[in-house]
Structure 1
Amino acid sequence: MDIQTDAGAALHDDAPREIYEPPARRSQAIDRCSITETQHLIEDYILADLPVVIPDAAAHWPARQRWTPDFFRRHHGDVTTEIDGRRWTLAEYLDGMETATADHPLPCPFSFDMRDGFAERIADVQPQPRFGRIDRLGHPLMHGALLAGTRQHELFFGGSGSVFRRLHYDALFLHGHITQIRGDKEFFLYPPEQTSLMYPSRDNPKLSRIDDPADPDWCRFPLFAAARPYRTVLREGETIFFPAGWWHYTVVRGPCIAYGGVALTASNWPKFIADNVAYRRRDSARWKAESLRLYGHLAGLAMRVHEGLAPRPWR
């Protein structure tokens, strides 16, 4: 087991990037709730579709001790990905990540589907947080076609000053949760009720046309000034849950390594199925899309019965 406390401590040295906010969009804080307060967490946040910071969801993950820049250099340094036309090895990015500044940031996002090149690391982020009575993603009735193309386990790297400028909400209306394994990251979230202020793209309504939400062009996007974000700095070791349909972007405050997962509950199941059907209508025959809709409806009913019989997780 690689335990390098000095490397973890050094990741907090950079000062936070200051971001201008018009008075009309001053942020509101995101509540915090321990993973041990299961009833409070599920009833007051998950089922209420509200974001929440969970300070101890990853307390027992092996990743908390193992995952350092040196660990990934040794075990996965030759894994590559392309950003803005340039192919990077993970080792190259890690070298730049530790020296990046707000004036000279690295490209963002630098992320991987953990099933491609990091499959053995998925065991390092277990047990996963529990957000309902049953695990719908792992349920026997969850057909693989419903999750095609979805990153269920994602690995993020970033350096100081990097901004994930794609103001968006996640595909398939899946809930999301991100854990900071190393370093801190600032999150800005906007509820679905503010969608009219987000300037959704006509081609992809889940993606905003605002090219830089951290420093927007107010002349082109004046309505965005009225948006009021939920805002928090996610500290090393903490997890943030954000519900399906919530717009978000992030600002990296120093060298960081983060894990991202998804969640599926009764609350987002109908939109999850509807979004699946919409995708299939574009790419395949109508009868395939309608068959998927019927299967999703029946599977959802069966899962509700299962949830009704399952013990409450806080008992």
Structure 2
Amino acid sequence: MNLIDIPRVSQITKADFVANYFKPQKPVVIERFIEEWPAYTKWNLAYMKAVAGEKIVPLYDNRPVNHEDGFNEPHAKMKMADYIDLLKKEPTKFRIFLWNILREVPELQKDYTFPDFGLKLLKGLPMLFFGGKDSYTFMHYDIDLANIFHFHFEGRKEIILFDQSQNKHLYKVPHSLIAHESIDFSNPDYEKWPALKNATGYKTYLEHGEVLYMPEGYWHYMKYITPGFSMSLRAMARNPKNLGKAAYNILIMRYYDHIMRKIYGQKWIDEKNEKAIRRTNTYIDSAIKSE
């Protein structure tokens, strides 16, 4: 893959962010944006255990999608205190995904403010994400193709991004938001997945207190190098094309996929994965012939 480092700035003004990153839809890491938040010094795994230890949290791992899985249905549940103990004890594939802190632990709202990046942030949807050493998300993009601000706390996290123009290289699974689940984006097998050699994207590592801006509809793969967690704030897509895609995903695509799983079972999932490979290989063949 052709990956360049995501640009980094120490601080940034709203005007510079809008002009240099939002309008051209380019990612950026802001290294020192949240140092005045109480969360900057307070938020770590021990603090989360103290304030949310009794909460039951949804857990996800890296198992392949199964036809019996519901949309974003967790693979397990556990008390937050027990989960954090597990993170500190040993590597685990279990992650917390899309955990709404506004609803679950209202007191955490006192530890941060909604920043003014020149975009209207959705204040009802601050989400937390936790992971253990070497756990990762499949390469995917979000259903609403939102602008995302990803604030990282504790530990180190590997990030790989692609924009929507790279779909043809990523073995995108039809009627879904993911690339083929067998691909290890940290160490891709180019003999098995040759199209990835032509994919052009971005990479970085996030440390405590750093903020990553991911533009509308960007594909993202995230791997926890050490146990840690992040919070995402989001703003609706502004590009009319992306708004249309978001509406289709939310109102049609996910329900169509759910119905097809009910009718055809695992055969539907397997056919989608096979089609991802066929479509990408067809693109490679046509590109070679046109040279």
Q: TM-score, normalised by structure 2?
A: 0.73
| Aligned equivalent of 1:107, options 94, 114, 136 | 94
Within a 5 Å distance, the mapping from 1:74-223 to structure 2 comes to: 74-80=50-56, 81-83=58-60, 85-100=75-90, 104-126=91-113, 128-132=114-118, 135=120, 137=122, 152-164=125-137, 166-204=138-176, 206-211=177-182, 212-216=184-188, 218-223=190-195
Q: 1:63 to 1:131 in 2, by over 3 A?
A: same
Native 8 Å contact 1:109 1:156 kept in 2: yes
Q: Report how far residue 217 of structure 1 moved.
A: 5.0
Native 8 Å contact 1:218 1:225 kept in 2: yes
Partner of 1:9: none
Native 8 Å contact 2:98 2:127 kept in 1: yes
Alignment partner of 1:233 is 2:219: no
Q: CA RMSD in A?
A: 2.5
Q: Report how far residue 213 of structure 1 moved.
A: 2.5
Q: 1:203 to 1:219 in 2, by over 3 A?
A: farther
Native 8 Å contact 2:121 2:234 kept in 1: no
Alignment partner of 1:251 is 2:223: yes
Q: Report how far residue 254 of structure 1 moved.
A: 1.2
Q: Report how far residue 174 of structure 1 moved.
A: 0.4
Deviates more, 1:211-220 or 1:250-259: 211-220
Native 8 Å contact 2:152 2:209 kept in 1: yes
Q: Which amino acid aligns with 2:117?
A: F
Partner of 2:21: 45
Native 8 Å contact 2:98 2:128 kept in 1: yes
Which deviations, in whole Å up to 9, do the C-alpha atoms of 1:252-285 show, x marking residues without a partner?
121212111112364x35522552255335699x
SS in 2 for 1:116: helix
Q: 1:243 to 1:47 in 2, by over 3 A?
A: same
Q: Which amino acid aligns with 1:121?
A: L
SS in 2 for 1:27: strand
| Aligned equivalent of 1:66, options 32, 42, 51 | 42
Q: Which amino acid aligns with 1:83?
A: Y
Q: 1:270 to 1:35 in 2, by over 3 A?
A: farther
Aligned length: 240
SS in 2 for 1:170: coil
Distance in 2, Cα, partners of 1:190 & 1:277 = 21
Native 8 Å contact 2:2 2:197 kept in 1: no
SS in 2 for 1:188: strand
**Consecutive unaligned residues in structure 1, runs of 5 or more:** 1-24, 139-150, 285-315
**Consecutive unaligned residues in structure 2, runs of 5 or more:** 62-74, 256-291
Native 8 Å contact 1:30 1:51 kept in 2: yes
Q: Which amino acid aligns with 1:236?
A: H
Native 8 Å contact 1:51 1:242 kept in 2: yes
Q: Report how far residue 114 of structure 1 moved.
A: 1.8
Q: Which amino acid aligns with 1:155?
A: L
Partner of 2:265: none
Q: Report how far residue 62 of structure 1 moved.
A: 1.5
Q: 1:230 to 1:77 in 2, by over 3 A?
A: same
Distance in 2, Cα, partners of 1:236 & 1:222 = 35
Distance in 2, Cα, partners of 1:75 & 1:175 = 29
Alignment partner of 1:28 is 2:4: yes
Q: 1:270 to 1:124 in 2, by over 3 A?
A: farther
Q: Which amino acid aligns with 1:71?
A: Y
Q: Report how far residue 153 of structure 1 moved.
A: 0.8
| Aligned equivalent of 2:232, options 254, 260, 271 | 260
Q: 1:108 to 1:225 in 2, by over 3 A?
A: farther
Distance in 1, Cα, partners of 2:218 & 2:240 = 15
Q: Report how far residue 95 of structure 1 moved.
A: 1.0
SS in 2 for 1:106: coil
SS in 1 for 2:19: helix
Q: Report how far residue 250 of structure 1 moved.
A: 0.9
SS in 1 for 2:34: coil
Native 8 Å contact 1:35 1:56 kept in 2: yes
Q: TM-score, normalised by structure 1?
A: 0.68
